[in-house]
Amino acid sequence: MTTSIRTKTDPLDSTDPQVLDYMLVPHRNFNLINGVHSPDEVDQIQNWEIRDSDIFAVTYPKSVSTLLGLTGTIWMQQILTLIEAKGDVTPNTEHLNAQRVPWIELIGSEKKFNATPSPRLRVTHLQYKFMPLAIRQKRGKVIYVARNPKDVLVSYYHFHKYAAMLETPKDFNDFFEKFMEGKVFGNCWFEHIKMWYANRDNMNFLYITYEEMIKDLRSMVERMCKFLGKDLTEEQMASVVEHSTFRTMKQNPQANYETVPDSLLDHNKGTFMRKGTIGDWKNHFTVAQSERFNSVFQEKMRDLPLSFTWDINDVTSVT
């Protein structure tokens, strides 16, 4: 992919006149994005010094619905910030979610990581093999947010049409094939979740799903607080939940990424927070594609005790 756009050390800052071509760059069987990621810097992440208070939220791209509708990533940035602030929304009005809880794989992230006081809140789309070795010694905490992969594929397809740093798909059929072959940033969804989940006992690890968050956000926030050792009052908990709903976040420009420059996200082609629903895949998949996906899913996931919600009708309540 060869989309030229302005970029700088921080891809959310487009003030630098330098122009780069964003394209996928294979590195250790994982696709990075030129101009956004540096293979050498990604390799150095393994050597980062980790504090017990560090928190990493991990998602496959578009797992928490759109950077990639309401993505798991964006949702987690919002929730973690609010939990740390004990429901105080003031920090959420001053900076973008991505600036408060940055990605560890972006160029220049190590310097910012080292300079950040505890607790350091971070998100990542990286595979397990790239993470700091210290988390395997149960330093820090990891929250993995999964989403049913059919909806991930659809959400990621729409994001590709919206994000200037990603190739614009020819059509859904074309993107379907690339997703199934792992020829996207993040590579193969199946490999991503399998390696993280298979190594869960090596870490302080919490696994939750996007669909659980949709069904009962408060219960999920309570689980996160317990995992993180955070004791919130009833009023503080209510504030975290209220300001983490899809409705509230969609109205918050710092959370919905409307302020990100058009050089990175073409706001004329879509909205960062698109739908935040379950089962949208039914509006895109053909019967043949669904059957093929089911076959691959059954083969690759047969050794993992994980189940997913595939239809909104299977959810009793939506926040």
**pLDDT one-digit tens code per residue, 180-200:** 999 999 899 999 999 999 999
Alpha carbon 199 to chain centroid distance? 19
CA dihedral 297, 299, 302, 304 (to 10 degrees): -60
pLDDT at 223 over 80: yes
Query: Looking at the annotation, which residues are catalytic?
Result: 125
Helix (H, G, I), strand (E, B) or coil at 37: strand
pLDDT at 7 over 60: no
Ranges of each domain in the chain: 37-314
**What are the φ/ψ torsions at residue 216 (nearest 5 degrees)?**
-150, 80
Do the Cβ atoms of 130 and 46 come closer than 8 Å? yes
CATH number for 37-314: choose from 3.20.20.140, 3.80.10.10, 3.40.50.300, 3.40.710.10.
3.40.50.300
pLDDT for residue 311: 86
Q: Which residues is 55 bridged to in the sheet?
A: 121, 141
Calculate the average pLDDT of the chain: 82
Per-residue pLDDT of 126-166, as tens digits, reads: 999 999 999 999 999 999 999 999 999 998 898 887 776 67
pLDDT for residue 233: 97
Do the Cβ atoms of 35 and 49 come closer than 8 Å? no
| Residues 165-175, mean pLDDT to the nearest whole number | 86
pLDDT at 279 over 70: yes
Say how far apart CA 273 and CA 290 lie, in whole Å: 25
Helix (H, G, I), strand (E, B) or coil at 312: helix
CB atoms closer than 10 angstroms to residue 19:
11
Say how far apart CA 213 and CA 149 lie, in whole Å: 16
DSSP class of residue 185 equals: T
Closest by CA to 103, choosing from 135, 136, 143, 58, is 58
CB atoms closer than 10 angstroms to residue 89:
15
Strand (E) or helix (H) holding 122: strand 121-124
| Residues 302-313, mean pLDDT to the nearest whole number | 88
* Confidence grade of residue 23 (pLDDT, cut at 50, 70, 90): confident
Say how far apart CA 162 and CA 18 lie, in whole Å: 22
Per-residue pLDDT of 86-109, as tens digits, reads: 999 886 666 677 788 999 999 999
Say how far apart CA 62 and CA 155 lie, in whole Å: 6
Say how far apart CA 264 and CA 316 lie, in whole Å: 37
pLDDT for residue 74: 80
| Residues 39-68, mean pLDDT to the nearest whole number | 85
Structural Rg of the chain based on CA atoms:
18
Closest by CA to 148, choosing from 205, 178, 189, is 189
| Residues 23-28, mean pLDDT to the nearest whole number | 92
